[in-house]
Amino acid sequence: MAGLTAVSLAAVGFLAYQASANAPSSVELAERRPSATGSGGDEPRRNPLSIPRNSGMGLRVVYSPNAKRVWLINERGRAKRTFPVVPGTATPKPGTYWVTSRTGYTTGTDGVRVEHVVRFAKADEVTVGFSAAVDGSLPAPDPKKKTGGVRMARADGDAMWSFATISTIVVVVP
């Protein structure tokens, strides 16, 4: 009887492991989940983890200034990571851009020390790029200044730096 119980427990354990190993990630589940309708509005609200429609194909960075969010998309078209950002006052028009330059450490257009700067566009005569403040702050930009820094948390800046090398596509969506 003890042997039968042990075999049964081993089988259940194996099946549980197999099920968890094949379970989709939270990002994949979010992509499959239908949109919920917003209260009082006619337009459906999208899950923030869902990749925006019409944002291209393949390996790319997707940036939505309106949603204040970035998605790092792998070669298979799946979100590797997504995170909130604080856009600067200069925002590029929707379209496809490429990473043109990168700098490890510098001072941003707002005078803040930043790291992992990944530049990809120009808007209002200001260079636009992703970066993280060295002090970890995420303040709203001064609306009186033209700033092109799209700020993120330092851990997200590390991920962006590793992901977005020179010539990586950056798609800006509304």
One-character DSSP codes across 71-92 = EEE-TTS-EEEEEE-B--S--P
Is the pTM higher than 0.95? The answer reads no
CB 161 within 8 A of CB 105: no
pLDDT tens per residue across span 118-164: 999 999 999 999 999 999 999 899 999 999 999 999 999 999 999 99
56-172 has CATH 2.40.440.10 classification = yes
Show me where the domains of the chain are located: 1-34, 56-172
pLDDT tens per residue across span 80-117: 999 999 999 999 999 999 999 999 999 998 889 999 99
pLDDT tens per residue across span 8-40: 444 434 444 443 434 444 344 344 433 333 334
